[in-house]
Amino acid sequence: MWKGRFTGQTAQIVQRFTQSLDLDWRLAAYDIRGSIAHARMLRSVGLLTDDEERRIETGLLEIGTEIASGTLVPTQELEDVHMNIESRLIEKIGPAGAKLHTGRSRNDQVAVTVRLFLRDQLLGMAEDMEALLSALLRLAERHRLTVIPGYTHLQQAQPVSFGHYLMAHFTAFSRDYDRLFYALRSLNECPLGAGALAGSTLPLDRHFTAAELGFPSPTRNSLDTVAQRDYMLDYHSFASLFAVHCSRLCEDFILYSSQEFGWLLLPDSFCTGSSMMPQKKNADVLELLRGKTGQIVGHQMDLYVTLKGLPMTYDRDLQEDKRGLWASLATVSDMIHALTALLCEVDVNEERAAAGMADGLILATDVAEELVRRGIPFREAHEKVGHLVKECLARGKGLFDLSREEWAELLPELDGDLLGNLSIHAAVERRKTFGGTGFDQVAEQIRYGVAAVEEAKERRERYAADLPVIE
C-alpha cells in the first residue's frame, strides 16, 4: 500500500511483528459496514459514479459472505483486516475498488470500525446487565423478610434484611449500568472524514456518513479523532468497577457460605469438590469471579500506560489498544452470565443465621437508642450499653438471657420494660429511615429497582432503534 515511497521489500519478520490480523479480523463485518457508508458518501458528493458505488457496495457485501463462510482467508502480507478487504475488492471489481479509499485513512477507518463493533458489544452487555439486576431484584423480594447479621469490620454489627443486603449490590451494579451507558454515549460520534489527522481537501460530507452509520454527529476535531481512545477507557472504567463490585459480592458469598458462617447456601451446580478431601464443597465459581477482577483492572491500566506518553496524533502503539479490549469484553460478559445464573439459585439457612445472633448482643445499638428516646444523651447511652455488654460477657450471658432483675440492675433507666420489644425481627422492622433496612423500606427499594430496570431497558431499546441497518 506504500510501495511508491520505498525501494526495498518489507522484511518478513516485520510483516509478522506489525500485522494485526489476530486482533482485527473479527472486525470484518464492521469494516464493510463503514466502507459501504463511505462509498455512499463519495457518490453523494460526486467522487464516485452511481455505477462505481453500486459495484463497490455489491463487492463488499459479497466479500462479507466470503468471510462469513470462511472462503476468504486473510494474509499477513496485507497486514490487517482493512487492507485484506480492500485488496479482495480490487481483485473482484477492478479499478473501481481502488477508489474506495478516497478521502480516507486507516486512522479514521479503524476508529469508526472499532466504534461500530464496540457499540454492538455494549448494547448486548447492557441487556445482560439488565438480566443481572433483575435476578438481584427477584432474590431480594424473596428474602425481604429474611434477617441476617450485618457486618462492619467483618464483625456482627446490626441485624439487616437479606433483601436489603442484596439491594446494596443492586445499587452498586445500577451505577455500573449507568457507566456502561455513558460509555455507549461517549463513542457516539463518527470519525470518518478525519483522515490521517487533518481532514481532506476533497468535498467529503462527514454528516452524511455519520447519519448512514447511526451516529448523531461527526467528531469535531480531526487531530483528536485519530489520537484519542477515551471511549475505550470509558468502557474499561465501567468494566473495572463492575468487576470490583462483583468481587466484593463474591467475597461475601464465599465467607457467608463457609462453615464458620454457614447461613448462605450455594447451589451444588456452582461448586466443585476436592480431588483429595471427600467432604469439600468449594465455591470455585465465586473464587474465579473474584480472581478475574485483577485482569479487568489490568486491561484498563494497560491502555492508560499506552496512552500517557503518546505524541499527537496517531502512533502505531494504538494498534495494541484492542488486545486488552477484546479480552476484557469476553471476560466481563462471562462474569455477568455466571453471576446472574448463580443468583437464581442462592438461598439462606434462616435458622443458622438466627443462631449466629442468638445472644442478642447485635441489638446493643437498639438498647442505646431506647435510652436516647428516654432523654439520655447518645454518648452517655453508648457508654452505659457498653458496660452492659461487658457485664454480659463476664456473666456468660446474652441480652436475651438477662432476667428482669438483671436488666433493672444493669440499666435501671429502662424500668425493666424493654424485654417485650427486644427481638431481632423487630429491630429490623423498626429501621424505617429512608433507604434503611426496615422491611417496608426494602419493599420500596425493590419497587424503585424494578422501575429503574424497566427504564434502563427502554433507554437501551430506544438507543438501538435509532441505529440504521445497511442493506
Q: Is 172 part of any domain?
A: yes
Q: Is 435 part of any domain?
A: no
Return the pLDDT at 176.
Answer: 98
Of the residues 217, 258, 274, 403, only one is catalytic, namely: 274
Distance of alpha carbon 64 from alpha carbon 30, whole angstroms: 10
Question: Which residues are within 8 A (CB) of 152 and not within 5 positions of it... i.e. 6 or more apart?
Answer: none
Return the pLDDT at 12.
Answer: 79
Query: In this structure, how many other beta carbons lie within 10 angstroms of the beta carbon of residue 9?
Result: 9
Task: Decide if pLDDT at 6 tops 60.
Answer: no
Return the pLDDT at 14.
Answer: 79
213 close to 37: Cβ distance less than 8 angstroms: yes
Task: Decide if pLDDT at 471 tops 70.
Answer: no
247 included as an active-site residue: no
pLDDT in tens, 67-111: 999 999 999 999 999 999 999 999 999 999 999 999 999 999 999
274 included as an active-site residue: yes
Q: Is 39 part of any domain?
A: yes
pLDDT in tens, 348-405: 999 999 999 999 999 999 999 999 999 999 999 999 999 999 999 999 999 999 988 8
pLDDT in tens, 152-198: 999 999 999 999 999 999 999 999 999 999 999 999 999 999 999 99
Return the pLDDT at 224.
Answer: 98
State the amino acid at position 343 in one-letter form.
Answer: L
Question: Which residues are within 8 A (CB) of 281 and not within 5 positions of it... i.e. 6 or more apart?
Answer: 266, 268, 271, 273
Of the residues 44, 101, 134, 153, only one is catalytic, namely: 153
pLDDT in tens, 61-73: 999 999 999 999 9
Mean pLDDT, all residues of the chain:
95
Distance of alpha carbon 289 from alpha carbon 271, whole angstroms: 13
Q: Is 59 part of any domain?
A: yes
Return the pLDDT at 19.
Answer: 85
Reduced to 3 states (helix: H, G, I; strand: E, B; else coil), residue 13 is helix
In terms of residues, how long is the chain?
A: 471
Verify that 235 and 376 share a domain, yes or no: no
Residue 221 sits in which domain range?
107-355+445-465
Segment holding 151, helix H or strand E = strand 147-152
Return the pLDDT at 237.
Answer: 98
Verify that 160 and 186 share a domain, yes or no: yes
Pick the closest to residue 56 from 78, 71, 35 (CA basis). 35
Distance of alpha carbon 32 from alpha carbon 112, whole angstroms: 11
**Residue 291: half-sphere exposure toward Cβ, Cα within 13 Å:** 6
pLDDT in tens, 412-449: 998 766 656 789 999 999 999 999 999 999 999 999 99
Distance of alpha carbon 458 from alpha carbon 136, whole angstroms: 19
176 close to 129: Cβ distance less than 8 angstroms: yes
Verify that 370 and 242 share a domain, yes or no: no
Could you tell me the three cell numbers for 272?
Answer: 466443585
194 close to 227: Cβ distance less than 8 angstroms: no
Task: Decide if pLDDT at 5 tops 90.
Answer: no
Verify that 231 and 289 share a domain, yes or no: yes
Return the pLDDT at 192.
Answer: 98
User: Of the residues 102, 129, 147, which one is the last residue of a structural domain?
Assistant: 102
CATH of the domain at 79: 1.10.275.10
